[in-house]
């Protein structure tokens, strides 16, 4: 059984969910040393003025190297309120935001201690809403070399081409103003396309 390796991610991009759809088994990395400035604690949504990055603040680890599973969310800066307002501003007029908003509001009201748990509960919800039946398990030790390794390829700063992914354009609220913005957070696809987002994911996979 082919297994793809992914990192945890906050409202991961469309590319990430294509892997969940494409591969019969997924391992999400828990044992790595945490890396900053990645999708682990940030997402990119489509706002009125273009792409907008949202970052979940984390507590500074006590040691230089800290495993991802041990990273704690910081309460700094009222970030939950800011993130939810940003989502409402970006997608309040989208076709499906009103339909799905009650599913997402609890994530911005409840306090989560660990980033990994927060990300995984969001991922589970989104898979359910898009009818993605992903076979998920978690790593028990860190391995440097693994097959179908997307842990660093799916990265805001990655320069490695993913030949298995070609973003298929879809309706976006501000497309006329900003043009199509590819590979935004999965919520961009969900709020704009609803259940049809699954078809867009399938079309974006190069087998």
- pLDDT digits over 30-62, tens only? 999 998 889 999 999 999 999 999 999 999 887
Give just the sign of the alpha carbon dihedral 31, 33, 37, 42: positive
The reported pLDDT for the residue numbered 157 is 87
Phi, psi of 114 (to 5 degrees): -115, 135
- Give the per-residue pLDDT at 40: 97
CA 71 to CA 113: how far, in whole Å?
9
Kindly state the average pLDDT of the residues 172-198. 97
Other beta carbons less than 10 A from residue 22's beta carbon: 20
Q: Is the pTM of this model over 0.85?
A: yes
Q: What is the pLDDT of residues 82-125, one digit of tens each?
A: 999 999 999 999 999 999 999 999 999 999 999 999 999 999 99
- Comparing CA positions, the residue from 77, 98, 72, 75 lying closest to residue 87 is 98
Give me the phi and psi of 54, to 5 degrees please.
Answer: -120, 125
* SS3 annotation, the chain: CCEEEEECCCCCEHHHHHHHHHCCEEEEECCCECCCCCCCCEEEEEECCEEEEEECCECCCCCCCCEHHHCEECCHHHHHHHHHHHHHHHHCCCCCHHHHHHHHHHHHCCCCCEHHHHHHHHHHHHHHHCCCCCCEEECCCCCCCCCCECCCCCCCCCCCCCCCECCCCCCCCCHHHHCCCCCCEHHHHHHHHHHHHHHHHHHCECC
- Check pLDDT > 90 for residue 159: no
Alpha-carbon distance of 113 to 108, in angstroms, equals 13
């Amino acid at each position: 059984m082919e297994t793809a390796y992914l990192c945890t991610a906050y409202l991961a991009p469309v590319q990430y969910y294509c892997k969940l759809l494409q591969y019969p088994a997924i391992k999400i990395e828990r044992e790595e040393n945490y890396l900053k400035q990645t999708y682990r604690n940030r997402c990119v949504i489509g706002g009125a003025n273009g792409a907008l990055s949202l970052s979940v603040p984390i507590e500074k680890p006590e040691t230089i190297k800290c495993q991802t599973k041990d990273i704690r969310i910081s309460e700094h800066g009222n970030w939950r309120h800011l993130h939810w307002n940003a989502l409402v501003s970006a997608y309040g007029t989208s076709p499906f935001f009103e339909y799905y908003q009650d599913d997402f509001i609890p994530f911005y009201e409840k306090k989560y201690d660990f980033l990994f748990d927060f990300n995984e509960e969001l991922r589970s919800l989104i898979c359910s809403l898009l009818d993605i039946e992903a076979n998920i398990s978690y790593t028990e030790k860190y391995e440097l070399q693994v097959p179908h390794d997307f842990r660093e390829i799916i990265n805001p700063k990655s320069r490695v081409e993913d030949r298995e992914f070609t973003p298929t354009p879809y309706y976006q609220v501000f497309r006329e103003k900003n043009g199509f913005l590819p590979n935004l957070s999965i919520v961009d696809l969900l709020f704009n396309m609803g259940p049809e987002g699954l078809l867009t994911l399938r079309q974006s996979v190069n087998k």
